[in-house]
Structure 1
C-alpha cells in the first residue's frame, strides 16, 4: 500500500466518523462542528483525486461561509431538544428506506467491478499544462449549459423566496413606504405657521 492510498483510507474513515456524528450527536452545535469536519475531509479527498478546484470551492463555500452561518444560527437560537425528539420514531421507516438505498448505491459504485458493473474506464494520465478547472468549465458551459442555467434559476427563486418570507409585517414595527416617500411634494414637506409674537 502506497502513501496516497493510506491517506485516502484515513480521510475516508474520518469522513465516515464525522458523518455518523452529525446524525447521532445530541448537541446541535456538536453536529454542526462534525459537519464542518466532514466537508473539510471531503475536500482533502478531492485533493487526492486531483480535483483541486472542487476541493477549494467546497472548503471556501461550505466550510468558510455556509457552515459558519449554520453554526451562528444554531448557537443564537434557543433550541428545545426535548421538543425536537418528539415523534422521532415516526420518521424511522422513511429514514431506514433512504439509508438502505444509499448503502445499495454505494455498494454498486464501490463494488461494481466485482459484480461486472464496472463500465467506467480509468481516466487518462494528465499531460503537462492540463487544468481540470478549464476542463470543468468547458464541460459545464457547453454540454451542461442548460442544466447549469436551470440550477441557477432554482437557486435564484429560493433566494427570492427566502427574502420574501422574512418581509412579514408585524404590529408595532415602524417602516417607511417607498411609494409614499417618492410621491411626496414640496408643499407636503414644510408647513409655514404664522404665530403672533408674544410679549413679556
Structure 2
C-alpha cells in the first residue's frame, strides 16, 4: 500500500467517525466542531483526487465562514438540549422512514456510479497537457469552462443567489416603533415658526410664606 492509499483510508476513517459524531453528540457545540472536522477530511480526500479547487472552496466557504457562523450562533443562543429532545420518540417513525428512503436513494446513485460505463470525457486541455508534459491546472480549466460553455447556468445561479440575499434582508428588516430616530425628510421640511412654540401656562398657586421657627424673636 502506497502513501496515497494510506492517506485516503486515514481521511475516510476520520471523516466517517466525525460524521457519525455529528448526529450522536449531545452538545450542539461539539456537533458543529465535528462537522468542521468532517469538512476538513473531505477536503483532504478531494486533494488526493487532484480537485484542489473544490478542496480549497470547501475549507474557505464552509469551514472558514459557514461553520464558524453556525458555531457562534449555537454558542450565543444557549440552546436547551432537553427541550429539543422532547417528543423525539413521537416523531421517530417518520424520521426513520425518511432517513431510510434517503439512504436507499443515495445507495442507488452510488452503486450506479461504480458500474463499468464508457470512459468519462476528459477536460479539453488535460490530454494535450499530459502528452506535452506540461503542468495542468484544474482551477484554470474549470474557470474556462464556467465562463464559456456554462456561462448561462452560472448567470442564472448568480441571479438566484442575489434574489435569495435580497429576500433574506427584506424578511429580517423590521422597523422598531420604540426608537427615537428622526426622519431626515421631516426634519428638512420643517418651518422656522414650527421649531419653537411658546405656551402660556397659568401659575399653579401662590407661594406660602415660610413659618418662623419657634423661639425666634419677631
Structure-2 change in CA distance of 1:186 and 1:169 (3 Å) = closer
How big is each residue's C-alpha offset from its partner over 1:56-88, in whole Å with a ceiling of 9 and x where there is no partner? 111011111111111111111121222211233
TM-score by length of 1: 0.78
Equivalent residue pairs, number: 190
Q: Are residue 139 (structure 1) and residue 145 (structure 2) matched?
A: yes
The residue correspondences of 1:62-141 to structure 2 (distance < 5 A) are 62-108=62-108, 110-112=110-112, 117-119=115-117, 121=119, 127=130, 128-141=134-147
Select the residue among 156, 168, 189 that pairs with 2:162: 156
- Counterpart for residue 54 of structure 1: 54
Q: Residue 149 and residue 88 in structure 1: after superposition, are their counterparts in 2 closer, same or farther (change >3 A)? A: farther
User: Which of these two proteins has the greater Rg computed from alpha carbons?
Assistant: 2
SS at match of 1:159: helix
SS in 2 for 1:64: helix
Whole-Å separation in 1 of the counterparts to 2:22 and 2:30: 8
TM-score, normalization: structure 2?
0.72
Q: Structure 1 residue 104: deviation in Å?
A: 3.4
Aligned to 1:198: none
DSSP 3-state at the match of 1:19: helix
Please list every run of 5 or more consecutive structure 2 residues that lacks an aligned counterpart in the other structure.
199-218
* Shift >6 Å, 4+ stretches: none
Structure 1 residues 1-21: Cα deviation after superposition (integer angstroms, max 9, x where no partner):
222111111111111111111
* Cα pair distance change 1:175/1:113, threshold 3 Å: closer
